[in-house]
Chains A and B, each alone.
Chain A
Amino acid sequence: MMRRLPLILFIAALAVGPQLLPEFTVTLLNYIGLYAVVALGLVLLTGVGGLTSFGQAAFVGLGAYTTAWLTTVHGVSPWLTLFIGLALTAAVALTLGFITLRMGGHYLPLGTIAWGISLYFLFGNVEFLGGHTGITGIPTISLLGWELKSGREFYYLIWLTVLLAMLALHNLLDSRQGRAIRALKGGVIMAEAMGVNTARAKIVIFLIAALLASISGWLYAHLQRFVNPTPFGINQGIEYLFMAVMGGIGHVWGAVLGAGLVTVLKQWLQDWLPTLLGQSGNFEIIVFGMIMILVLQRARDGLWPMLARWAPATTGPRRVPQADALPRRPAQTAGTLLLDAHDVTKRFGGLVANNKLSLTVQAGEVMALIGPNGAGKSTMFNCISAVDPATEGEIAFLSASTADAASRDLAGRGMSRTFQHVRLLGQMTVLENVAIGAHLRGNKGVVSAALRLDRAEEVRLLAEAARQIERVGLAEHMFDAAGSLALGQQRIVEIARALASDPALMLLDEPAAGLRYREKQALADLLRKLRDEGMGILLVEHDMDFVMGLADRIVVMEFGEKIAEGKPEEVQSNPRVLEAYLGGVE
C-alpha cells in the first residue's frame, strides 16, 4: 500500500484539480496531458526501443485534421472520426516503418523529418483543409450524453486518456512482447536467435507511438475546436522529443514529467525572454536546446530517476513464479541425426574463415568443436545458427535445409545457442533475460499484453524461466540485474536462456570460460544430464579437461579447415592435432 501512495495522491490531485484551480492553470494542464500522450509514445519508441521520430507532430496533425474535416464538412460523428484518424495514421506509419526500418536506425528519424515537413506544407496549401487559416467550428464531444463544452470538463477526458495510455504501456513493457521490445536496444542479434521477429517489433512500437499521437490530435481538435497547420510542424515534433528526453526517456512517468516541465518552462520563458532581450520571437528554443544538450551529456536518463528516488522503495522480497510446465516438443530418440553440415564455406571478402567444413550432431550426444584461436569455430556457429549465413555449402537441421532460414526460424525449429561474447540485457533481471528464451513458447500479442489478458501465459513463461535458472544453479540471482553478475555466471544465464526454448539442439560457445573448478564440474554434470535426456549439444571450448571428459565426438579445426575428427582419445593422439596445439618439431 505504501508504495502505491504517491500514485493514489497523484490521481486524487488530478481529480480535484479542475474544481480548485483557475481557468489558466486548467488550460495549461490540458495541454500537458495532450503532450504527455505523444511523449508516452516516444518513451516506448526511443527510450525503450532505441528508435526515434521527429514526425510525431505530423501524426498529431493527421488525427486532428481528419476529425476536423470529417466533422465539419461531412457531419460525421467525432467518435467515428477517431477511428478513421487512427486507421489513416496506421496506414502512414506502417508504410514509413516498412520502408525505413529495414535499414539503419537513423533512417527512421530522417524519414520522419522529411514526412513531417511535407505534411506540414500539405496542410498549409490544400484548399479544402483551409490552407494556413485552417478549419474552424469543430463540434464538441459528448460522452454518454455529457457534452464536454468547457476546458474544465474536457480535462477529465484528456487525463483519463493519459492514465489509460500509461497503464497500457506499463502492462505492455512487463510482458512477453515487452521483453522483445526491450531487447531492440542493443540485443537484436540475440533476440532474433531466440525467435523474436525484431523487424516486426520495431514497426509495432512505431505504430503504437503514431497512434498515441493521433489520439492526442483528435483530443486537441475537439478541445480547441479549430485547427491550423502551426502546431503540427517539425518544430513541435522536435519539442515532443525534448519533453520525453528531459523527463526521462526510459520511464513511463518521464513522459508526463517532461510534458509538464517543458510546457511550464515554455510559458514562463515566453513571458520573460522577450522583455529581457528587448525583442519578440521564439527565444525559448535557445534555452531548450541548451538544456537538451546538457541533459544528454550529464543525465541521459532525464529528470524522472532523480524524482523517483524520493518515492518509497518498491522492491520487497519477490516471489518465484509458480505454474504448470509448458508443453514440450517431442523428444528425439538418441542417435537421430539433428544437424548435418556439409562442405560449409564462409568468406569475408577475400578471407576464407571456414573452408569446406563438414560435421554432424546426433540426438543424445555432445559434439565438441575445438581448435586454436582464430580457427573459425565461432564463425561456424554463426553459419549453423543462421546469425551470419554461410557463403557456400549445405546445412540441414532435422533433415530440412536451413538455406533460407533466418536465425529466428531455426529457433522455432528447435535450435538454440549461447554467444561467445555474452549477449544479455544488463539492466533486466536474470529471470526476464531467461524468459526471452521462452519467447516462442507463448503467443499472446501486444494488445493482450496491454489489457493484461496474457497473465496465465505470462506466469507459465516466467515459471519455466525460473525452473531453468534453478536447474543451472543460479536461483539466488534470479531477481538481480543480469549485468551485475560475474562473467562466468552470465555465460550460465545464457545457457538457461537457451534451455528455456526447449531446444532439440543446443550450440554452446565457450560455456566454461571464466568458471571456477566446481562450477565447471556442475556444468559438465548438467550437460551430461541433458544429453541423457536426448538433447544434442554442439560445444566450442578451450578447456581440454572439460572437453575430453564430456564430449562423445570431437572435430578439430585449424585455419578454417577440419584437421581431425573422432572420439576424444583418437583425437588426442592424432599427430596433426598435436602439431596444431603444441607446434611441430622443425
Chain B
Amino acid sequence: MDLQILLLLGQDGVTNGAIYALLALALVLVFAVTRVIFIPQGEFVAYGALTLASLQAGKLPGTVWLLLALGTTVAVIDGWRLLRDGQYGKLPPLLIFNVGLPLLAAGALTVVTPANWPLSLQVLLTMLLVIPMGPMIYRLAYQPLANASVLILLIVSVAVHVTMIGLGLLFFGAEGVRTPAFTEFSFELAGAPLQGQTILVVVASALLIIGLYFFFERTLYGKALRATAMNRTGARLMGIPPTLAGKLCLTLAAAIGVFSGILIAPITTIYYDSGFLIGLKGFVGAIIGGLASYPVAALGAILVGLLEAYSSFWASAYKEVIVFTLIIPVLLWRSLTTRHVEEEE
C-alpha cells in the first residue's frame, strides 16, 4: 500500500466515520433522555436517502403515505382522548399537524414534481417529510411504555426497526439508489484526489455537532433535555413533561438520521435495509463512549469508519466481521474499567 491509497482510504474512513459520529451522538442522546436504545435510527438514514432519491427521480416518495398513516393514527388516538376529556380547543392543532400537513404534502406532490427544483429545496422537502415520523413513532410505540424497563424498550425498538424495514421495502422497493454528488469540486492533496463531497460531509457533520452543542448549552429546550437525562423525576417535578422530552429527542434523532442519509446517499448505494448496518456502526461508536460520553462516542465512530475503510482494502469480504468483532475488545475494556452497581426497578 502506498501513501496515495493510504490517504484515499483514510478519506473514505473519515467521511463514513463523520456520519457514524452523527448517529452515535443521536443514539447517546436518545438513550440518556428516554432510556430507549434507538435501533431504528438507521432506518431514518435509509428513509432520508430514498425519499430524496424518489423526489429527484420525479416519483412520489412512499414516505408521504407512511407519514399520513402515522399521523392519522396519532390523531385518532389522541383525538379520541381529547374528545373524551372535552378538550376541544386542542383538537385543531392536533389535526393540522398530524393529518392536515401530511395531506397537504401528498396533495401538493401529486400536482408538482420537485425533480427539477434546486437541491436545497429537495433536501428541505425530504426533511419535512421524514422528520415528523420521529415524534409520531415516539407517540405510538414508546410513549405508552415510557416507564418500562430498558429491556422492554429495547425489544420495542427492535419491533419498530423490523416494521420500518418492511415498510421501507413496501414503499421504496428492493432497488438501491445513489443520488448525484452535491458538488463535483475536487483537488489534489499529497498526490491523492480529495473529493468535495468528502469535505462537505465532514464540514456539515462538524457544523451539526456544533449546532447541537449550542442547542444543549444555550436554549431552554436543550437544557430541558439535559435535565431530563440527568434526573428524570427531578426534571418532571420542575415541569418538564417526559412526553415532551421524548418527542423532542426523537425529532432530533430523526433529523440527524435524515440529514446523515442525505449526506451519505451520493457516496454509498442505499437500499431499504442499509440503514440497519449504518446505524449499528454508529452504535459501536456509541458503545465505545459507554452510551454516555458524546465526545468519546464521536471519536469512537470515526475510528469505526477508519477501521472499516482499511479492512475493506485488506479483507473486503470480512469487512463487517472485523467492524462488528471490534465491539468485543471494546466491551471487554469497558467491562474491566467500569464497576457497575445498579438495579433495574
Contact A105 B170 (CB under 8 A): no
Q: Which residue of B lies closest to A234 (CB)?
A: B276
Which residue on B lies nearest to A46, using beta carbons?
Answer: B151
Q: Mark B94-115, 1 if CB is under 8 A from A, else 0.
A: 0000000000000000000000
In the complex, which range does the number of interface residues on chain A fall in? 35 or more
Residue pair A105, B150 in contact (C-beta under 8 Å): yes
Interface string of B284-295 (1 = CB under 8 A from A): 100100010000
Q: Which of A247-296 contact B (CB under 8 A)?
A: 277, 279, 281-286, 288-290, 292-293, 296
* A contact residues around B280 at 8 Å (CB): 113-114, 117
Cβ of A143 under 8 Å from chain B: no
Q: Measured between alpha carbons, how far is A290 from B137 in the docked complex, in Å?
A: 12
A-B contact pairs, 28 of them (CB 8 A): A54-B158, A99-B332, A99-B335, A102-B340, A103-B331, A103-B340, A105-B150, A106-B151, A107-B287, A110-B287, A111-B328, A114-B324, A114-B327, A115-B324, A115-B328, A125-B317, A279-B170, A281-B169, A283-B166, A283-B170, A285-B165, A286-B162, A289-B161, A292-B159, A293-B159, A293-B160, A293-B163, A297-B144
For A111, the closest partner residue in chain B by CB is: B331
Return chain B residues, CB-CB under 8 Å to A121. 318, 320-321, 324
The answer, among A189, A281, A296, A300, for a CB contact under 8 Å with B343, is: A189
A501 at the interface (CB under 8 A from B): no
Question: Does A52 make an interface contact (CB < 8 A)?
Answer: yes
Decide if A289 touches B160 in the complex (CB within 8 Å).
yes
Most buried by B among A96, A113, A282, A288: A113
CA of A188 to CA of B165, assembled, Å? 37
Q: Which of A113-139 contact B (CB under 8 A)?
A: 113-115, 117-118, 121-122, 125
Closest to A184 in B: B344
B154 touches A52 (CB 8 A): yes
Q: Is A584 an interface residue (CB 8 A)?
A: no
Least CB distance from A417 to B in Å reads 16
Min distance, Cβ B188 to any Cβ of chain A, angstroms: 35
Complex Cα spacing A578 to B252, Å: 57
How far, in angstroms, from A220 to B284 measured CA to CA in the complex?
Answer: 32
Q: What separation, in Å, do the CA atoms of A277 and B167 have in the docked complex?
A: 11
- Chain A residues lying within 8 Å of B141, measured Cβ to Cβ, are 293
Q: Is A235 an interface residue (CB 8 A)?
A: yes
Most-contacted residue by chain B among A109, A288, A289 (CB, 10 A)? A289
Q: Which residue on chain B has the smallest CB distance to residue A242?
A: B159
A111 close to B162 (CB less than 8 A): no
- Bound together, the chains give a CA A100 to CA B340 distance in angstroms of 11
Could you list 19 further interchain pairs (A-B, Cβ under 8 angstroms) beyond the known A281-B170, A282-B166? A46-B151, A52-B155, A54-B158, A99-B331, A103-B338, A105-B150, A110-B287, A110-B327, A114-B324, A118-B321, A185-B344, A189-B343, A241-B155, A245-B155, A279-B170, A279-B173, A288-B162, A290-B163, A296-B145
Of A50, A106, A109, A296, which contacts B159 at CB under 8 A? A296
Binary flags per residue of B250-281, CB closer than 8 Å to A gives 1, else 0: 00000000000000000000000000010010
Contacts of B335 in A (CB 8 A): 99-100, 102-103, 107
Q: How far is the CB of A96 from chain B (nearest CB, A)?
A: 8
Q: Which 6 residue pairs spanning A and B have beta carbons closest together?
A: A289-B163, A286-B166, A292-B159, A118-B324, A114-B327, A285-B166
Known: A99-B335, A296-B156. A122 touches B321 (CB 8 A): yes
Q: State in angstroms the CA–CA spacing of A284 and B166 once bound together.
A: 8
B184 within 8 A of A: no
| Contact A118 B325, CB 8 Å, known A111-B331, A290-B163 | yes
Q: Is the interface of B mostly helix, strand, loop or mixed?
A: helix
**Chain B min CB distance to A284 (Å):** 8
Let me know if A286 and B167 touch, CB within 8 A.
Answer: yes
Which one of B332, B338, B344 contacts A50 once the chains associate, using CB atoms below 8 Å?
A: B344
Q: Does A388 contact B (CB under 8 A)?
A: yes
Rounded to whole Å, the gap between the CB of B184 and the closest CB of chain A is 34
List, in ascending order, chain B residues with CB within 8 A of A99's CB. 328, 331-332, 335
With an 8 A cutoff between CB atoms, is B121 at the interface? no
Q: Tell me how far the C-beta of B230 lies from the nearest C-beta in chain A, rounded to whole angstroms.
A: 14
Q: Is B220 an interface residue (CB 8 A)?
A: no
B289: shortest Cβ distance to chain A, in Å?
13
Residues of chain B at the chain A interface (Cβ within 8 Å): 37, 140-141, 144-145, 148-152, 154-156, 158-167, 169-170, 173-174, 277, 280, 283-284, 287, 291, 317-318, 320-321, 324-325, 327-328, 331-332, 334-335, 338, 340-345
CA distance A24 to B332 in the complex (A): 46
Min Cβ gap B276→A in Å is 8
Contacts of A335-374 to chain B: CB distance below 8 A: none
| B331/A107 in contact, CB under 8 A | yes
Question: Looking at the complex, which one of B149, B162, B174, B320 makes contact with A285 (CB distance below 8 Å)?
Answer: B162
* A185: chain B residues within 8 A (beta carbon): 344
Determine whether A104 belongs to the interface, using a CB cutoff of 8 Å to chain B: yes
Q: Which residues of A contact B338 (CB under 8 A)?
A: 103
Interface: A141 (CB within 8 A)? no
Compute how far the CA of A52 lies from the CA of B159 in the bound complex, rounded to whole angstroms. Answer: 14
* A186/B321 in contact, CB under 8 A: no
- CB under 8 Å from chain B, chain A span 52-111: 52, 54, 95-96, 99-100, 102-107, 109-111
Given contacts A106-B154, A110-B287, A118 and B320 within 8 Å (CB-CB): yes
- Provide the residues of chain B in CB contact with A95, threshold 8 Å: 328
Contact of B174 among A54, A111, A242, A281 (CB under 8 A): A281
Instruction: For residue A107, give the distance in angstroms from its CB to the closest CB of chain B.
Output: 6
Chain A neighbourhood of B164, CB < 8 A: 289
Tell me the residues in window 21-65 of chain A with beta carbons closer than 8 Å to chain B beta carbons. 46, 50-52, 54
CA A297 to CA B139, docked complex, whole Å: 12
CA distance A50 to B234 in the complex (A): 27
A188 touches B343 (CB 8 A): yes
